[in-house]
Structure 1
């Protein structure tokens, strides 16, 4: 049975962010709570892994959100050695493709948000599902859709959980889409890529790599490389079966 624990930010911001977790599987240590975020360390017991998670709820006004952007840039310097996930309602979009409808002049807000993402070294976590995550539900012709909700990661997260992604679901009672983090199957079942050096001498080697590498994979560059390495495993496995001889291995994880 789930053993739920809760943390809410009543003291600092009037109950904008709630965090709930199953105490049977994870330990959560709230490190800092601000008016637009909760930052915590999460220990996943099996497999044992420590990660940092920042849950955000951006303010409505451009000027007020700048405090959040500054916080994320500071947190980035504190999370250089730990996988870090940042997610929630940022109340900002990155470009006009994330807006459908009349929204006024949002260029300054977009510039601020993109500068924060660049300065913090954040990467977009691969996403599937609803593109626009918020709708104003207007009864007038002024319908407005925006992509206000997302998950982002640092490079340590990408290295530790290279196949992780998230889904944006269809909203129900809320005007926002729920987001679900999808676990990393490669990490759970062992994701080391092994390569036998002697295979490079096979006349089929270059052709095999070129065939896999020409695929256009949607996602971050690191995600694309990881997908292609996984696809090459079965190719090299077949070539091993068809060729004997001494083996010299190198491995990357």
Structure 2
């Protein structure tokens, strides 16, 4: 079983919906939590049907901002416990595993409301004794190294969030992928990166899912990167990414050499074997170039 969490910054644009569809097709999450949808219930209903999800729950937008959505498939019973503009609290039941609790979080973006956010976590922690996991955009940092660029985060803010997490008996689930999940002014002198999105869980949750892993998905149409919570990495293996040849590689002189060395390495090999070997080598060689191209595009 798995969950996708994303601050999508609006689902009104077809580009965001297309990215969501591609991500769902690739990672196949059973549950999706979205924040800042900026969308009404009719729009969410259409997206839920398009993605093939049986159930959905919506917290309406507040004026011109906010909006939370929970989507789920038939697998595992989902029961909504409570909700507001900052969270959707729900329980999941699955045979042979039992019952546990999720809270999809969207923390207050205003710095002046941090104490409210920390007390909200403490209040949520007292509502149930089930194994518990929180995931989403907390709009908070725990360590100074979780921010790069701009003014350093005030120590009292780091300490306040950390103390709230400890008071709730929670621990950070860690991550695989990029360190930072949010950014602004990319490619400029004002570029700031922060780890605002994360997963937290109590010890009972960790005992129930000892092999869980949070993967940060690198490509996004939002200024936030999505999180993919995989409850059992041994079972839910990620699909192999399909190889794609980038036409821009042809302009690089090394491209010819990579292909030539693969093709002549074992001249007796079948043509399909040579093509496969060539694809692997090109992906290894060209991966860095693709990242460099993205950075140049962002700079332009």
Normalised by the shorter chain, which TM-score bucket?
0.5 to 0.7
Q: State the match for 1:129 in structure 2.
A: 177
Q: State the match for 2:80 in structure 1.
A: 30
- Give 1:17 deviation, angstroms: 1.8
Which secondary structure does the structure 1 equivalent of 2:121 belong to?
A: helix
Q: State the match for 1:53 in structure 2.
A: 102
Distance in structure 2 (CA, Å) of the matches to 1:21 and 1:47: 19
Q: State the match for 1:73 in structure 2.
A: 122
- 5+ residue gaps, structure 2: 1-50, 237-300
Distance in structure 2 (CA, Å) of the matches to 1:185 and 1:176: 24
Query: After alignment, is 146-155 or 118-127 more displaced?
Result: 118-127
Equivalent of 1:140 in 182, 188, 199:
188
Query: After alignment, is 5-14 or 99-108 more displaced?
Result: 5-14
Aligned: 1:16 with 2:64: no
Equivalent of 2:145 in 97, 121, 125:
97
Which secondary structure does the structure 2 equivalent of 1:132 belong to?
A: coil
Q: How many residues align?
A: 185
Rate the CA distance shift 1:118–1:176 in 2: closer, same or farther, 3 A. Answer: same
Q: Which residues in structure 2 correspond to 1:145-164 (within 5 Å)?
A: 145-164=193-212
Tell whether the 8 Å contact from 1:8 to 1:15 is kept in structure 2 after alignment.
no
Rate the CA distance shift 1:157–1:132 in 2: closer, same or farther, 3 A. Answer: same
- Give 1:139 deviation, angstroms: 5.8
Q: Deviations over 1:30-55 (max 9, x none)?
A: 111123111111223x4352111111
Rate the CA distance shift 1:43–1:183 in 2: closer, same or farther, 3 A. Answer: same
Equivalent of 2:213 in 165, 169, 185:
165
Distance in structure 2 (CA, Å) of the matches to 1:107 and 1:101: 16
Which secondary structure does the structure 1 equivalent of 2:72 belong to?
A: strand
Tell whether the 8 Å contact from 2:136 to 2:198 is kept in structure 1 after alignment.
yes
Distance in structure 2 (CA, Å) of the matches to 1:18 and 1:137: 28
TM-score with structure 1 length normalisation? 0.66
Superposition RMSD on alpha carbons, in Å?
Answer: 2.4
Q: State the match for 1:41 in structure 2.
A: 91
Tell whether the 8 Å contact from 1:17 to 1:37 is kept in structure 2 after alignment.
yes
- 5+ residue gaps, structure 1: 189-253
Higher RCO structure, 1 or 2 (CA under 8 Å, sep 6+): 2
- Give 1:186 deviation, angstroms: 7.1
Q: State the match for 1:229 in structure 2.
A: none
TM-score with structure 2 length normalisation? 0.56
